[in-house]
Structure formats: structure tokens, C-alpha cells
């Protein structure tokens, strides 16, 4: 059963297409949300909900223009646009801080190659500098988490609902109030026009200015800038059509379609295209077939390649993984030095005159095995003991608090089984040399699957590194 006018039928078709696309893409996004852990799920869902509210109210008004209340259009306009635009700006703030945090983690790492004899082996100073620098950045990062920003958006929505309720009450008290008159440019829409102007002429230039040089491998920056340009192109047409073109063309096409078109395109840009990109990325993983794992492990032995690899990891917002490998190698050095000291203390050939004590931080570093070799396997040639000495367990506990403890400064993403095994040893105090080896393997696997393919295409092939 159709509608009597072309405009009503057009609105009905547009409503069905719009809702089907939004529902299907959102459900698929929720189903694969673990693969989009770098994206703020709550904020994206708030934006999708706001999209449906504002678009649904406009389509319903066009379909049942004599029966659908203008009050519902007013509520849909304010509530839907607030949910959408606030979540969009919150995503921008989060991306900006997270990218700067990951960049800070890369720049704060000292490039310790241990090649120059003039450079002393001061592991403690290196560790203290890097963690204190990251701590300042992490404090700012914690303030823009997905959960906190969602609460902030909810607070603004509560304030807005209160304001709209007051406007609606005043509107109902106006003389000659008619609930079913055409929704025009009354004073109650002026705040909406003001919000739109702030978005177009304040927020959009701010996003372009601050995000133009931001680099991330997931395309989050491109999504935000695309949304901005869509808003700059489509939103002004809403006012141009309503104020100028509608009367001249005498068309049944409504200016509401410009807003709903903007909502649909930006939703597909935020939710739909990442789903397509996920399928493309699955095929992209095959491009690393020509580069075996040996080439991947060689990156951590080449200072220049490792420097560029850290930058690629920052684009993927996972600098904590490269930090983990760096500190894992430092921890391995501590273990080797401790094991070597134990061998010397247990030596039968003790000199009559004790030598002058030498600090391990001022001595030459030991020969460290590659990053893919665990601490347990490395220590076997120095000692037969399975447990870490008591004086060295402090280092292991600090390493755990930095990377594996829930809510840690640089918490990494590993399986619950691996985390439970490490936690059990940390709790009972019987720490073995290989306690972090399984975790290291998982971190290397994450870097190999997520960062290495892009590194192959954009660095190794261009520089023809063999």
C-alpha cells in the first residue's frame, strides 16, 4: 500500500534503505567488534543511535506530514544531532590524545645500540627516564578513554534534554499553538542552527588543522576529515534549499534529505568502510608471504629498521608492544648479568686479593640473544637454576606492573590464559626465568600480523631491504 504523493513514497523508500543500511552495518560491526578494538565502540554506537533518531523523525514527518507531531521533529532534531555531533567530536579528541601518546612512547625511547664504547651501560637510568616520560603522557590518555568520553557526552545530552523540555513547554504556552502545523524556522530551532554553525565554522576547521598531520594506520584520521568535508558540502545545502531553491523549484523534495544523506554517508564512512577494509586486510596479509619470520626477527637487530618499525607501530596505536620487546631485552640483560655474577661467585678459583667491585651499570653489556629467543632459553647456558633470584624478582614484578597488570601504564593485549599463568607466579613468589616468554611470543605475533604487513609494503619493498 503506497502513499498518495510522490514525496511521501520517496520518503518511505528512503527510510527503508537508510534503516536497513544502518542496522546491518551496525550489527556486523558489533559482531566483529574485537577486531576493531582501536575504535571507540560506545561513541560509535551513540552516533549510530543519534543517526536513527534524527533521520527517523525527518522521514516520518515527510511520510505522515499531517499526523506526525512537530514536537517529535523538534526532539529528534536536538537529541539526534547532539548524540551524533558530540560523539563525533569526542572520537576526534580521543584519537588526537591517543596518537600523541603513542608518538611520545616512540620518541621517549633511547636508541641504545650498545655499539659505542663511550656509552656506558646504564640500564637503570634508561628505564627511569623512559617510564617517567610516558607516565605524564599516560595521565592525559586515561582522561580520554572511551568510557569517560561516553559519560561526558551523556552529561551534555542531559543538559540538552532539559533545555529542549523548557523550550517545548514555552512553545506549548504560545497563543495559537497548533501541534500539526508545518515545522518551520521558528525561534525554537535557532539553537540548532547555532550548533550547526559552530560545527561548520569552528569544529570543522579545528579538526582539519589538528588532524591534518596525524598519522594512523587504521584510517581514523581520514574518517574524521571525510565527515568534516561532507558536513561542509552537504549541510549548507539544507539552508540554501529551504530558503532559496524550494520556492523557485516548487519541488516535493525536502531539505530534510540533505541532513539524512549526511547522516547516512558519515555512518557508512565510520562503520561500513571499516568492515570492507577488514576483508581487504585479510587479503593483504598474504603479501608478507615473500618475507618469512626470519626477516621479521631481523628488524629487531637492525637499529635503523627498528626505528622505522616503531613509527609504524605508533600508526597502529600499539606502541606498547614495541616498548614491551625493548624492555624484555633489557630484562634479559639484567638476567644475564645476574647469572654471570652467580657463576663468578661460585667459582673455585677465587683470587687472594679481591678485585675492585665494578657496577654492572658501568660495565660492557652482555651478549644478548635475539628478541624472539626467550629469557629461559638464554639463561640455560649460565645457570641450572629454574627460579629467578630474590634480588632480581623486583625487576620482574616491575615489568609485570608496567605491561600485564590490569590497568597498567602500557597494558598489552594478550590471552587470558597467558595472563593467568604469569599472575599465578607473581602472586606465589616462585618466579621462573621463562615467566614472560609466552607473553613475548604473543606480542611478537601481534606485531607480525598487524604491523609487519604494512611495514613490508611501505618500507622493506621501497628500500629493497634483504
**255-271 residue pLDDT tens:** 888 889 999 999 999 88
- Position 165 in a domain: yes
Question: Measuring CA to CA, which residue among 74, 96, 77 is closest to residue 168?
Answer: 74
Say what percent of the chain tops pLDDT 70: 68
Spatial CB neighbours of 364, under 8 Å, sequence gap ≥ 6: 121
306 shares a domain with 201 = no
The residues facing 387 across adjacent strands are 432
Report the distance separating Cα 369 and Cα 374, nearest Å: 8
| pLDDT > 70? residue 275 | yes
Residue 53: alpha-carbon gap to chain centroid: 26
The predicted structure's pLDDT at residue 103? 63
Higher-confidence residue of 1 and 51: namely 51
Least confident of 188-192, 351-355, 435-439: 351-355
Place of cell 598519522: 215
- Position 452 in a domain: yes
- Position 1 in a domain: no
Q: What is the DSSP string of 282-317?
A: HHHGGGGGGS-HHHHHHHTT-HHHHHHHHHHHHHTT
Report the distance separating Cα 425 and Cα 413, nearest Å: 19
Assess contact for 319 and 310: CB atoms under 8 A. Answer: yes
| pLDDT > 80? residue 94 | no
Give residue-wise pLDDT tens across range 40-52. Answer: 888 888 889 989 9
Least confident of 13-27, 34-48, 202-216, 283-297: 283-297
Give the cell for residue 71.
Answer: 514536537
| Whole-prediction pTM | 0.61
| pLDDT > 80? residue 234 | yes
| pLDDT > 60? residue 173 | no
| pLDDT > 90? residue 98 | no
The predicted structure's pLDDT at residue 122? 41
**Ranked by mean pLDDT, which of 236-240, 244-248, 292-296 comes out on top?**
236-240
Report the distance separating Cα 437 and Cα 53, nearest Å: 50
Domain that holds residue 336: 291-344+358-463
**Average pLDDT, stretch 276-304?**
70
Give the cell for residue 376.
Answer: 629461559
The predicted structure's pLDDT at residue 118? 37
315 shares a domain with 176 = no
| pLDDT > 60? residue 128 | no
303 shares a domain with 173 = no
- Position 349 in a domain: no
- Position 352 in a domain: no
Give residue-wise pLDDT tens across range 365-379. Answer: 455 788 888 898 888
The predicted structure's pLDDT at residue 167? 64
156 shares a domain with 216 = yes
Q: Any idea what DSSP says for residue 33? A: G
Across the chain, mean pLDDT equals 74
268 shares a domain with 170 = yes
| Residue length of the chain | 466
Using pLDDT thresholds of 50, 70 and 90, give the confidence band for residue 110.
very low
**Average pLDDT, stretch 24-37?**
84
Question: End-to-end CA distance of the chain, in Å?
Answer: 68
Give residue-wise pLDDT tens across range 312-335. Answer: 888 777 888 888 999 999 999 889
Assess contact for 325 and 443: CB atoms under 8 A. Answer: yes
The predicted structure's pLDDT at residue 231? 83
250 shares a domain with 104 = yes
The predicted structure's pLDDT at residue 74? 79
Spatial CB neighbours of 83, under 8 Å, sequence gap ≥ 6: 46, 47, 49, 50, 53, 153, 157
Residue 366: alpha-carbon gap to chain centroid: 37
303 shares a domain with 261 = no
Spatial CB neighbours of 367, under 8 Å, sequence gap ≥ 6: 336
240 shares a domain with 319 = no
Assess contact for 200 and 232: CB atoms under 8 A. Answer: yes
Report the distance separating Cα 309 and Cα 126, nearest Å: 20
Report the distance separating Cα 409 and Cα 451, nearest Å: 21
403 shares a domain with 278 = no
The predicted structure's pLDDT at residue 114? 32
Number of domains composing the chain: 2
- Cα maximum dimension of the chain: 109
Using pLDDT thresholds of 50, 70 and 90, give the confidence band for residue 152.
low
Domain containing residue 243: CATH number: 1.20.1070
Other CB atoms within 10 Å distance of the CB of residue 3: 14
305 shares a domain with 204 = no
Report the distance separating Cα 81 and Cα 91, nearest Å: 15
83 shares a domain with 141 = yes
* 161 CB-contact burial (10 Å; exposed 0-12 / middle 13-18 / buried 19+): middle
Assess contact for 267 and 48: CB atoms under 8 A. Answer: yes
The predicted structure's pLDDT at residue 264? 92
Domain containing residue 455: CATH number: 1.10.167.10
Least confident of 27-31, 333-337, 403-407: 403-407
Other CB atoms within 10 Å distance of the CB of residue 329: 17
| pLDDT > 50? residue 142 | no
Using pLDDT thresholds of 50, 70 and 90, give the confidence band for residue 22.
very high
Spatial CB neighbours of 313, under 8 Å, sequence gap ≥ 6: 102, 106, 319, 321, 322, 447, 451
236 shares a domain with 121 = yes
The predicted structure's pLDDT at residue 250? 56
Amino acid at each position: 500500500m503506497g502513499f498518495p504523493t510522490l514525496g511521501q513514497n520517496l520518503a518511505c523508500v528512503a527510510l527503508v534503505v537508510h534503516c536497513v543500511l544502518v542496522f546491518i552495518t551496525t550489527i556486523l560491526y558489533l559482531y566483529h567488534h574485537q577486531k576493531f578494538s582501536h575504535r571507540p565502540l560506545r561513541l560509535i554506537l551513540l552516533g549510530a543511535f543519534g543517526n536513527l533518531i534524527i533521520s527517523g523523525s525527518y522521514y516520518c514527518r515527510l511520510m505522515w506530514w499531517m499526523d506526525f507531531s512537530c514536537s517529535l521533529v523538534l526532539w529528534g532534531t536536538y537529541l539526534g544531532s547532539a548524540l551524533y555531533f558530540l560523539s563525533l567530536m569526542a572520537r576526534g579528541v580521543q584519537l588526537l590524545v591517543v596518537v600523541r601518546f603513542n608518538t611520545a612512547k616512540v620518541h621517549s625511547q633511547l636508541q641504545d645500540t650498545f655499539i659505542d664504547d663511550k656509552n656506558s651501560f646504564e640500564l637503570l637510568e634508561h628505564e627511569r627516564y623512559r617510564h617517567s616520560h610516558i607516565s605524564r603522557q599516560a595521565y592525559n590518555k586515561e582522561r580520554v578513554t572511551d568510557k569517560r568520553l561516553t559519560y561526558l557526552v551523556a552529561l551534555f545530552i542531559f543538559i540538552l534534554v532539559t533545555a529542549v523540555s523548557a523550550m517545548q513547554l514555552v512553545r506549548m504556552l504560545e497563543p495559537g499553538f497548533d501541534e500539526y502545523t508545518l515545522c518551520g524556522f521558528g525561534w525554537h530551532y535557532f539553537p540548532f542552527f547555532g550548533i550547526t554553525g559552530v560545527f561548520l565554522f569552528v569544529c570543522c576547521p579545528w579538526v582539519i588543522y589538528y588532524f591534518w598531520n596525524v598519522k594512523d594506520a587504521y584510517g581514523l584520521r581520514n574518517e574524521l576529515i571525510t565527515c568534516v568535508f561532507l558536513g561542509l558540502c552537504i549541510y549548507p545545502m539544507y539552508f540554501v534549499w529551504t530558503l532559496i531553491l524550494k520556492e523557485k523549484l516548487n519541488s516535493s523534495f525536502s531539505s530534510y534529505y540533505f541532513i539524512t544523506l549526511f547522516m547516512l554517508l558519515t555512518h557508512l564512512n565510520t562503520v561500513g568502510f571499516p568492515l570492507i577494509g577488514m576483508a581487504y586486510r585479510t587479503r593483504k596479509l598474504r603479501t608478507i608471504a615473500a618475507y618469512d619470520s626470519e626477516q621479521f626477527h631481523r628488524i629487531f637487530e637492525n637499529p635503523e629498521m627498528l626505528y622505522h618499525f616503531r613509527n609504524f607501530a605508533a600508526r597502529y596505536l600499539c606502541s606498547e608492544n614495541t616498548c614491551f620487546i625493548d624492555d624484555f631485552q633489557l630484562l634479559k640483560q639484567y638476567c644475564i648479568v645476574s647469572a654471570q655474577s652467580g657463576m663468578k661467585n661460585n667459582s673455585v678459583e677465587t683470587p687472594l686479593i679481591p678485585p675492585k667491585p665494578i657496577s654492572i651499570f658501568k660495565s660492557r653489556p652482555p651478549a644478548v640473544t635475539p628478541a624472539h629467543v626467550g629469557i629461559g632459553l638464554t639463561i640455560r647456558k649460565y645457570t641450572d637454576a629454574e627460579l629467578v633470584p630474590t634480588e632480581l624478582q623486583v625487576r620482574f614484578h616491575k615489568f609485570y606492573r608496567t605491561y600485564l597488570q590490569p590497568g597498567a601504564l602500557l597494558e598489552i593485549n594478550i590471552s587470558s590464559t597467558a595472563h593467568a599463568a604469569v599472575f599465578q607466579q607473581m602472586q606465589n613468589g616462585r618466579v621462573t626465568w621463562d615467566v614472560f616468554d609466552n607473553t613475548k611470543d604473543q606480542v611478537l605475533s601481534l606485531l607480525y600480523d598487524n604491523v609487519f604487513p604494512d611495514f613490508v609494503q611501505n618500507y622493506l619493498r621501497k628500500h629493497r631491504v634483504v
